[in-house]
Chains A and B, each alone.
Chain A
Amino acid sequence: MNFQELYYKYKNTVYNLAVQYVQNIEDAEEITQDVFLKIHQNLNRFEKRADLKTWIYRITINTSLDYLKSKKAKKRFSFFISLFHNESNEPLFQVSDFNHPGIELENKEAVERIFRIINELPDRQKTVIILSKIEGKSQKEISEIMQINVKAVESLIQRAKSTLSQKIYSQSKGK
């Protein structure tokens, strides 16, 4: 399979998975571009034995998580700079990056609320929730993508659910 065929086969898989991590199309486009550049660079080195789709999933997850980390660092830096140069009336914080294109308007508020909590989860817990609850992957598929055993996936899902419950509980208590 050449690069063009590979792109057209997996572009939506990569793009949709990236959207679940960043919840807006601009960042998802950046991530999709980065993922396919990495695939282009490493296609020759890719071992034919491994599953291509799993490999692409892994690259997309790692690229998305790295992208989020660097974005967070940039935000922190710009906040720090704004402390010293806040001459304009612009707000110190950006209110929201949430602009998920796959959500119906009537569900937007509820889904945005749950995404805000998912975004606070540790990387691995966030990944299992995205793969199992949004992408609809089985525990076996998740274990192959994350290169861990099925029991570890199960335990990660339980831990993620428990963290989410605690966060929802503390949020509702705060209201």
Chain B
Amino acid sequence: MTPRPPTHSASQWVEVIVLCDSADTELVADALRIAGAEGVAIEPAILLDDDADFTYTERTDVPWTVRGTVPAPFDTAGRRALRRHLTSLPLRAPLGRMRVVEVHPEQWSEAWKRFFGVLHLGQRTVIRPTWEKYRARPDEIVIDLDPGTAFGTGQHETTRLCLEALEAVVTRGCTVLDVGAGSGILAIAAAKHGATRVRAIDLDASTVAVVRENAERNGVSARITAAAGTLGDAWPWPRTSPIECADVVVANISSSAVRAMLSDIAAAVKPGGAAVLSGFLAVDAGTMVRAARRAGLRHVTRHDGLEWSCVVGRRGSASPD
């Protein structure tokens, strides 16, 4: 009879968790390293403003968390030495309780994938992580995309709202400009919906390589050009020449960024074309609709999700409509 496999594999690691003043994190982290931690994680207390932006404020009035992972077993003598060391440090504020917990063994390189599966967005847009299989319906477009270092995995409501809007406004043979492209998910969707020329720009230069890689993976790299910059910068924008304008301009950024660029965005839309704007909360959508009208967009409609919103507007035709 073969022996039964063990039902529980012993942990190789313990995690030492210390709560401390924000000014003391470096000293505590150093103490954990001396105690044998091969790496330390410092988690600041953050205040997430409700301004729908990519920013946050670090709070210094509440404790921060410092975690050190020490190879198991972390015996009593080791724990006692660490406690002694911590109490000897010239800290700004008294430490919170130190906790030592066993780290449950896990296949870390694979575990994160459970958060991602095949996503159905809009009527016919599918996001497929590369490790998943999916058989598409004839009318569906499938975007192969693994989450990574740029915003735009398909999991955020603003991405979903933009993808839905693109289904309606992108027509075969049209041109598209994606402002704040992130992972390139919207640019790739536009290309797969039939856009022949898509330009994707982002202030973050590191996303350019991500867009190119994702476009390549999806077989649309010939139709997508990526560059770092913003409107009027990556491609100096000739407002007077409609040739360089796009049939569809999509910008999923933040309320402040979209509002600041709105007149440039509107100017970048070809007469008769559409602007798709998102990245702001539904409570701010009314303001955005009015700003879009002031910027010269017509037939402005808002599409609210649970918390976020997307505003779509058209630029008037060259001939009176």
Q: Do A and B bind each other?
A: no
Residues of B within 8 A of A (CB): none
